[in-house]
Chain A
Amino acid sequence: EAGVAQSPRYKIIEKRQSVAFWCNPISGHATLYWYQQILGQGPKLLIQFQNNGVVDDSQLPKDRFSAERLKGVDSTLKIQPAKLEDSAVYLCASSLGHRETQYFGPGTRLLVL
């Protein structure tokens, strides 16, 4: 069974530029999550989708971050404009449903200069 796929794996941008990350969850998983992991911290939930609806986006900085889940499958997370403090690993995870085991992708490491 294929795992959660993410791309790109690494991205370097300058502040005020925009960037987008892509996630393809495990087939059949209804719930998709985007986490931000800053160096030395644990993952922090940014947004959670159930199919293509948003369940929780309370910690998503909505003035600069946006996310969508196309047709309830793939998802993209966008940052526009990026700030230095956005440098982090962005992890995508998926699960069969709420409180089911979350399976994580390898993450996208973002460096904002």
Chain B
Amino acid sequence: DQQVKQNSPSLSVQEGRISILNCDYTNSMFDYFLWYKKYPAEGPTFLISISSIKDKNEDGRFTVFLNKSAKHLSLHIVPSQPGDSAVYFCAAYKGGSEKLVFGKGTKLTVNP
């Protein structure tokens, strides 16, 4: 039962363009959302988060948008750089739970 879904296994964009990574969730009880980035042979690293009381959070080149009615969030990277090439995981906490639930990840490739 995949409660956090990343339906695109991979995404390829040109350097300098926008990367948009999508994530859907099935349970309206999720109240805090995070994006992690993972390079090969390394552990995931935290990128950006958003609470369910907000609809946007921005940190430099990274912006996360949350659409609660659609149970959808997206990560925008502008401009994309080759060093952004990695696997991006969407993750979420349910209200009242301390367990972080991860999606399957999307592999982003930024071509020079």
Which chain B positions have C-beta within 8 A of A93? 43
Chain A interface, DSSP helix/strand/loop, else mixed: loop
B92 to chain A, nearest CB (A): 11
**A106 sits at the interface (CB 8 A):** yes
Binds B, one of A14-22, A35-43, A63-71: A35-43
A-B contact count (CB 8 A): 46
Most A CB within 10 A of own CB, among B4, B93, B102, B103: B102
Indicate whether B104 reaches chain A with its CB closer than 8 angstroms.
yes
Contact B46 A98 (CB under 8 A): no
Q: Chain A: which residue is nearest B41 at the CB level?
A: A106
Whole-angstrom distance from the CB of B108 to the nearest CB of chain A? 15
Count the A residues whose beta carbon is within 8 Å of the partner chain — how many? 23
Measured CB to CB, the closest approach of chain B to A75, in angstroms, equals 15
What's the Cα separation between A42 and B99 when bound, in Å?
A: 14
B100 at the interface (CB under 8 A from A): yes
Contacts A33-B100, A91-B44 given; 10 further ones with Cβ under 8 A?
Answer: A41-B104, A42-B102, A42-B104, A42-B105, A98-B98, A99-B93, A104-B44, A106-B41, A106-B42, A107-B43
Contacts from B to A (Cβ < 8 Å): 4, 32, 41-46, 89, 91, 93, 98-105
